[in-house]
Amino acid sequence: MLAVLPEELRPQAVQRLAACEPVLRRLLAGLYGRHADFDAWLAELMASLGALYAARPAGLRALDEQRAAQPDWFLSQRMLGYCAYVQNFGGDLNGVAERIPYLQELGVTYLHLLPFLRARAGENDGGFAVSSFDDVEPALGTNADLDALTTRLRAAGISLCSDFILNHVADDHAWALAAKAGDAAARAKFLVYPDREMPDRYERTLGQVFPQVAPGNFVPVDALGGWVWSTFYPYQWDLNYANPAVFSAMAATLLRLANRGIEVFRLDSTAFLWKREGTNSMNQPEAHQILQALRAIVDIVAPGVLLKAEAIVPTRELPAYLGSADARECHIAYHSSLMAAGWVALSEQNTGVMREVIRNTPALPPAATWLSYVRCHDDIGWNVLRAEAAADGSDANARLARASRFFAGAEGSYASGAVFQSTDPNAAHGSNGSAASLVGLERAGSDEERELAMRRLLLLHGVALSFGALPVLYMGDELAMENDYSYLDRPQHAMDSRWLQRPLFDDARWQQRYDIDAGANVGRMYQSLIRLVRARRQHDALAANAPRTLLADAPDSVLAVARGERLITLFNFSGAPQTYPLQGRWTDCLDGGIVDGALTLAPYAMHWLERGATA
């Protein structure tokens, strides 16, 4: 690597190479050392890394050095994320750039734009079937527009996060087209079987991601004369990471995007990267080795870049995605269990599952964080909670199925949502819908019902903002945007209820965000959320790496968490008032009020309390 670097860049690279190259070589030898040409392949890979580092713009290298000197920079309580589809939020990349002042107004420091690279023509799983990682989707702009956006975001103190779909490419990606044309090297980048013998053997233990609309994990492709592994939709072909050429090509692709100014990568479908007969081919040890090797490469070439694991797995399986002292992995991991447990708590008016999730949440390694959220573009998957839902002796499947029915609007529920196909036929269906509709705002018929719905919506965001994570807002939740049913009129989307929570940004509601009288729901939600964000920024006890203690002296429907020695957060998930036995005097961080002695929480109310009273 050093041989290809200009002299002025070598001092910066030497120290990182000394620390990370031995780890990288060990990991790659474990994955690919059996290949006869391993040494030549590794030398070629290292030369490629050197060239990509040399090509890294000076401004990004300066940011790398700044962040390498403060590796926990993203754990601050001042970090706030925002997630949106480009086409829904701004129309195109230039439209997103025009909304930067709004993001600054919210306090956003991290913007996750859902897939904006060139996607498959026709059906493309919302952009997750990528045809080219090196080009922007033409309908969303150009590569020059992306460069301009990353520059403007960086000047505003906002890091751009991009999806990087590791597991698969579209069937019209250059590799797939070459494979169909008879290119043996391209064919070897996929998992192709001449008949059903091996697919049938694998299928005995594999789950299904979309059992209703895309059953099975293999698709016949006449041009290849066989069956291609396709975990997700038939037009998304899984990559063969047992082939070292796949790893080196994808690593170089990620770094080219990083050199365009992308600072965070959401590594999509990480659990599926390695296949093993007799297993569900998820969370295999080699999948973690691949991620650890990518982390080592990033630490060498672009240490200002963050990797985020999209691993929607049970709490006990999350720590592996953050790595260890011997081999660091991702910087950030979604805490999907915490998110789903919050919704269970609302449906049951009981925090038992949430408490179990928090008890099972391990301490973070240095310079790593969870990602907390209320909603996202995907469904609420209940399977991640099976262990916690059964901890008190309950039937986990029955308990989670009740939550699924509740948020689909079952009798007696306030929610407006829809069930989603389950990855496990024996488990509860996932749930879709916007946060505002799921908490009851859409069906509210009176001022009292609207008030309770708004409290529920703020309650969930309060947990995400105070838990000790990097919190991410999903576009429209700050404006209490409700379900978008227009997807039913689009044949390519009608079979997928996830489009309920993928609306266009509502400019009319946005105009009402300060108007409490004319747009009570909008103004109330926006102003209350801004107050939470600002309160969080003022308390370093709410940083991702600050201590967290679950307090056991709360009623069953109340979640009580201490952050450090002076701050307590209280959340009432019940529709009835609840009392918490405080000792001494406290200041409410949200309204400045003084609490002296026991506190009665109104239905669905929350309080962030700091020990002691202000004058």
Q: Return d(Cα 66, Cα 305) in angstroms, integer.
A: 12
Torsion of CA 133, 134, 135, 140, to 10 degrees: 60
Q: Are 612 and 585 in contact (CB under 8 A)?
A: yes
Average pLDDT over residues 69-77: 96
Q: Are 129 and 119 in contact (CB under 8 A)?
A: yes
322-326, 525-529, 574-578: which has the minimum mean pLDDT? 322-326
pLDDT surpasses 80 at 117: yes
Q: Are 233 and 214 in contact (CB under 8 A)?
A: yes
Question: Which runs of E-coded beta strand occur in 390-530?
Answer: 418-420, 430-432, 470-474
Residue 424's pLDDT band (cuts 50, 70, 90): low
Q: Return d(Cα 334, Cα 340) in angstroms, integer.
A: 11
Q: Are 31 and 247 in contact (CB under 8 A)?
A: yes
In the prediction, which pLDDT does 319 show? 87
> Is 299 considered catalytic here?
no
Which position among 92, 238, 310, 484 bears the catalytic label? Answer: 310
Cα Dmax for the chain: 78
Q: Are 219 and 234 in contact (CB under 8 A)?
A: yes
In the prediction, which pLDDT does 427 show? 67
Q: Are 416 and 437 in contact (CB under 8 A)?
A: yes
Which position among 263, 268, 356, 388 bears the catalytic label? Answer: 268
User: Per-residue pLDDT tens for 121-151?
Assistant: 999 999 999 999 999 999 999 999 999 999 9
3-state SS class at 424? coil
Name the residue with tokens 């170089």: 252
> Is 448 considered catalytic here?
no
Residues 6+ apart with CB under 8 A from 353: 341, 344, 345, 385, 388, 389, 391
**Number of Cβ within a 10 Å radius of residue 160:** 21
Q: Are 476 and 116 in contact (CB under 8 A)?
A: no
Domains of the chain: 69-164+248-541 (3.20.20.80), 168-238 (3.90.400.10), 547-610 (2.60.40.1180)
Cα separations in angstroms, 571 against 278, 355, 392, 560, 584: 44, 12, 21, 7, 19
pTM: 0.95
User: Per-residue pLDDT tens for 343-396?
Assistant: 999 999 999 999 999 999 988 889 999 999 999 999 999 999 999 999 999 999
Q: Nearest Cα to 326, choosing from 26, 13, 15, 1?
A: 26
Q: Are 398 and 325 in contact (CB under 8 A)?
A: no
In the prediction, which pLDDT does 431 show? 96
Residue 4's pLDDT band (cuts 50, 70, 90): low
3-state SS class at 530? helix
* Angle, helices 447-466/520-537, rounded to nearest 10 degrees: 20
User: Per-residue pLDDT tens for 464-520?
Assistant: 999 999 999 999 999 999 999 999 998 888 888 999 999 999 999 999 999 877 557
Q: What is the CA radius of gyration of the chain?
A: 24
Cβ density class 217-248: b for 16+ within 10 Å, e for less: bbbebeebebbbbbbbbbbbbbbbbbbbbbbb
* Amino acid at the residue 565: E
